[in-house]
Amino acid sequence: MLKSHELLEFIKAIGASLEVFEHAGHPMRIEFIVEKTLEGLGPPGPMKASHAGETRVSRPSFPDSDPIRRAGLVVSRPMSEPVVDEKAQKEAFDRYVVPEIEVLYRVARSITRNPTDAEDLVQDTMLRAYRAILRFDGRHPRAWLLTIMRNAQINRVRRKRPELLRDPDAAMERLADEDSADLGPEAQVIERGYDAAVEKAVDALPEKFRTVIELVDIQGLSYAEAAEIIGVPTGTVMSRLHRARTRVRKHLESSGAYVNGRPV
Site for another protein, rule CB under 8 A: 23-26, 86-87, 89-90, 93-94, 97-98, 101-102, 104-106, 109, 115, 118-119, 122-123, 126-127, 130, 186, 194-195, 198-199, 202, 213, 216-220, 223-224, 234-235, 238, 241-242, 245, 248-249, 252, 259-260, 262, 264
Torsion over CA: 140, 143, 166, 154 (sign): positive
Q: Which residues contact 190 (CB under 8 A, 6 or more apart)?
A: 196
Tell me the closest approach of the beta carbon of residue 65 to another protein, in angstroms.
43
Element of type H or E holding 264: none
DSSP secondary-structure letter at 181?
Answer: T
Tell me the closest approach of the beta carbon of residue 98 to another protein, in angstroms.
5
Question: Strands 55-58 and 50-51: what pairing?
Answer: antiparallel
Tell me the closest approach of the beta carbon of residue 57 to another protein, in angstroms.
23
Residue with Cβ nearer another protein (147 or 236): 236
Tell me the closest approach of the beta carbon of residue 12 to another protein, in angstroms.
29
Task: DSSP for 107-174, please give it.
Answer: HHHHHH--HHHHHHHHHHHHHHHHHHGGG--SS-HHHHHHHHHHHHHHHHHHHH-GGGTT-HHHHHHH
Residue with Cβ nearer another protein (15 or 235): 235
Residue with Cβ nearer another protein (76 or 89): 89
